[in-house]
Amino acid sequence: MGSCSVDRKKVEMLEVGPCKDGYEKGLLIGRRFSHLIKSRVATDLILQNQLRPFAHTPQSHSLLKPLFHNNKTKFPRYWDELLGTAAGSAVPLLDILLINFRKEILPFIPKDGAKIPNVDTPDDCSDVLVVSESMAIAAHNEDANVALVGHTYLIKGILPDGLFFVAYTYAGELPSCAFGFNTHGLAFTLDSVPPAEDEIVAGGIGRNFISRDILEATSLDDAVNRIRSSEVSVGHSYNLIETSTRRIFNVETASRKRISVYEVGETPFFHANMYLHLPINQANENSIRRQKRAAVLTKKSKGDFLSLLGDMDDKKYPIYMTGPLLYTLCTVVIDLDQQTLSIIEGNPKKGDFSHVFSISPQKSP
């Protein structure tokens, strides 16, 4: 995999709330980051070449209408956040909806071969997790299409009870399709997993809505229940971290409410966008080679984990990605013993932290 040169700026954070409703929250976010949302929409080739053209065809109606209706019905507050984001950023609502439901829509777009290049990929994000007597750590590379570089921000969302969440957010999307934490001492990172085409349920619940809901979970068990109760459209992998109990769960989901919950122990656990517990075998070469490379690297300390996530030994499919299609936007390290969440912008081998947050549980003011 080749490399590309991009400009990195320290990701900005907006504190928003308490708000009277979801629309106001989205409106404030949209206004503050309008320039990033507009820029993301203007440079998103998946939106321009695939999602928009499909949305304007008659055959899209049978997919988009129930997809939008089902998610609006189950999560009306989060739906209103998207309405507010569109209004605040002055970006068409359809564009906001399309980028939020990208993974739920793309599998149903007719494949026209050479007419439209496939610029999407399911191979994003890598995690290494461990809970032993000496350490309890979750470390995560946030990988995405290179078009997302410079199009992210942090949202500190203050809830009506005074508690809050912090979420790394893609411009125009719900917080968070990447990682976040809240004042209950619950944190999570997310990994894409590619289900077989016959696994995908049209009109199911979108992954962005489920992860937005987890930001308000009160415990690890509550987060699992929120995931379990949603009829997901496509598969996903959730790494749930709870500081108060010093536990990490890897939760893999597929359609029709199939779910696997694996508790991470003292053997370091590496995840690279392939199902490891559910019997769904859709991994491709990128995931397999990252998985194999991680298997031979030392994983005995936090420094080892950062070196692993910064590894570029496999030139075609490195763990730390620098383009031309996929790019590691940042690395996050969640230390359950120190009760911190730290963000590294740049290769994690260098250990240059741009943000460090306390994630110890807090009580309502």
Q: Is residue 185 part of a domain?
A: yes
Q: Is residue 116 part of a domain?
A: no
Res 8: pLDDT: 55
The sign of the torsion formed by the CA atoms of 269, 270, 271, 277 equals negative
In this structure, are 97 and 228 located in the same domain? no
Q: Is residue 63 part of a domain?
A: yes
In this structure, are 146 and 57 located in the same domain? no
Amino acid occupying residue 158: I
Q: Which CATH number belongs to the domain containing residue 153 in this structure?
A: 3.60.60.10
All residues at 6 or more sequence positions from 342 whose CB lies less than 8 Å from its CB, including other chains: 332, 333, 334, 335, 353, 355, 356, 357
Percent of the chain at pLDDT above 70? 93
HEC string of 255-277 equals CCCEEEEEECCCCCEEECCCCCC
CB half-sphere exposure, 50, CA atoms < 13 A: 24
Q: Is residue 91 part of a domain?
A: yes
* pLDDT tops 50 at residue 111: yes
Q: 77, 108, 139: which is the final residue of a domain? A: 108
All residues at 6 or more sequence positions from 27 whose CB lies less than 8 Å from its CB, including other chains: 84, 85, 87, 88
| Rounded CA separation 244/258 (Å) | 28
DSSP helix/strand/coil, 240: strand
Res 198: pLDDT: 77
* pLDDT tops 50 at residue 5: no
> How confident is the model over 90-106, as pLDDT tens digits?
999 999 999 999 999 99
Res 157: pLDDT: 98
Q: Is residue 3 part of a domain?
A: no
Buried b (16+ CB within 10 A) or exposed e, 190-216: bbbbbbeeebbbebbbbbbbbbbbbbb
In this structure, are 51 and 149 located in the same domain? no
> How confident is the model over 156-183, as pLDDT tens digits?
999 999 999 999 999 999 999 999 999 9
Q: Is residue 81 part of a domain?
A: yes
**Residue 121 binned pLDDT confidence (cut-offs 50, 70, 90):** low
Mean pLDDT of all residues in 192-221: 91
- Residue 158's CB is within 10 A of a number of other CB atoms, namely 16
Res 123: pLDDT: 53
In this structure, are 248 and 351 located in the same domain? yes
| Rounded CA separation 197/337 (Å) | 41
> How confident is the model over 230-285, as pLDDT tens digits?
888 888 999 999 999 999 999 999 988 899 999 999 999 999 888 889 888 666 88
The number of domains in the chain is: 2
In this structure, are 340 and 220 located in the same domain? yes
Percent of the chain at pLDDT above 90? 80
Phi, psi angles (nearest 5°) of residue 155:
-115, 125
Q: pLDDT averaged over the chain?
A: 92
In this structure, are 130 and 102 located in the same domain? no
**Residue 365 binned pLDDT confidence (cut-offs 50, 70, 90):** low
In this structure, are 195 and 338 located in the same domain? yes
Q: 75, 108, 141: which is the final residue of a domain? A: 108
User: What six digits make up the tokens of 164?
Assistant: 């809050």
**Residue 1 binned pLDDT confidence (cut-offs 50, 70, 90):** very low
Res 273: pLDDT: 87
In this structure, are 83 and 195 located in the same domain? no
In this structure, are 35 and 138 located in the same domain? no
Res 160: pLDDT: 93
Domain of residue 354, residue span: 126-358
Answer whether 328's CB lies under 8 Å from 149's CB: no
Res 172: pLDDT: 98
Q: Is residue 19 part of a domain?
A: yes
Q: 108, 137, 164: which is the final residue of a domain? A: 108
**Residue 352 binned pLDDT confidence (cut-offs 50, 70, 90):** confident
| Closest C-alpha to 245, from 333, 136, 119 | 136
In this structure, are 182 and 257 located in the same domain? yes
Answer whether 192's CB lies under 8 Å from 236's CB: yes
Q: Is residue 330 part of a domain?
A: yes
In this structure, are 172 and 65 located in the same domain? no
In this structure, are 95 and 217 located in the same domain? no
DSSP helix/strand/coil, 253: strand
> How confident is the model over 306-342, as pLDDT tens digits?
999 999 999 999 999 998 889 999 999 999 999 999 9
**Runs of H (alpha helix) within the chain:** 22-32, 34-43, 45-46, 52-55, 61-74, 76-89, 93-100, 102-105, 207-214, 220-228, 285-296, 302-309
